[in-house]
Amino acid sequence: MKVIGITGGVGSGKSEVLRIMEEQFGCRIIRTDDVAKELCRKGKAAYIQVVKSFGADVLDGEGEIDRKKLADIIFQDPSRREQLNHCIHPEVFTWLREEMTHLKAEGKVSLVAVEAALAKELQTVGICDEIWYVYADPKVRRERLKASRGYSDEKIDAMFAAQLSEEAFQKACSETIDNSGDLDSLTRQLTARIG
């Protein structure tokens, strides 16, 4: 079983890469953000850590973590992001390692893609055979974010500023997938790498 880490900046088209990998190559897809959301549900270990670190003010009326409230805290005080990561990442890493052990033992999947916003996360968990950087020209990313999410230039600028530089992504990754072009170009690149 081969495990490929997928990372890249917001608007780079990681979701499209994952969709093609799943539909055309039968790849099992794992999104670390989805795993983190599940592990932050009421009563789970990451939930307990987040509430302990950030207080009950981050909970909604149902007692679940209000992701918007948490995002606002982190946006106002970037040092709190590291605090949040310490609450969630260890739980996500443990889940991923256990899931890979389970999938290997089951023997039904030959290719797994694990998507994460940070290449460092993928390196730390230590489960990936390769880590691919999904690159897209900043102008293309900006247009995608405006069209698909309705983001303003100011919001996009803030998001870009908070992410790793292109050089840092490339240094951390073994392959670069250029997703600045059309779907055919993207599919050709994936076919060449996956086979």
Q: What is the predicted pLDDT for the residue at 3? A: 97
Please state the pTM of the whole predicted model.
Answer: 0.89
Confirm or deny that 148 is annotated as ligand binding: no
**Token pair for 61:** 């009326």
Q: Is 139 one of the annotated binding-site residues? A: no
DSSP state, residue 59: B
Query: Does 195 carry a binding-site annotation?
Result: no
* Cβ neighbours for 16, distance < 8 A, ≥ 6 positions apart: 179, 183, 186
**pLDDT at residue 159 in the model:** 86
The answer to whether the annotation marks 44 as part of a ligand binding site is: no
Q: What is the DSSP letter of 78?
A: T
Q: How far apart are CA 143 and CA 160, in angstroms?
A: 13
Cα distances from 97 to residues 83, 100, 103, 121, 124, in angstroms, run 22, 5, 10, 13, 11
Count of CB atoms situated within 10 Å of the CB of 132: 26
Q: Does the annotation place 55 within a ligand binding site?
A: no
Structure tokens at 150: 């309705």
Rounded average pLDDT per 10-residue block, the chain, 195 residues: 95 95 97 95 94 94 94 86 92 95 96 90 90 96 92 89 86 94 95 90
What is the H or E stretch that residue 71 is in? helix 67-76
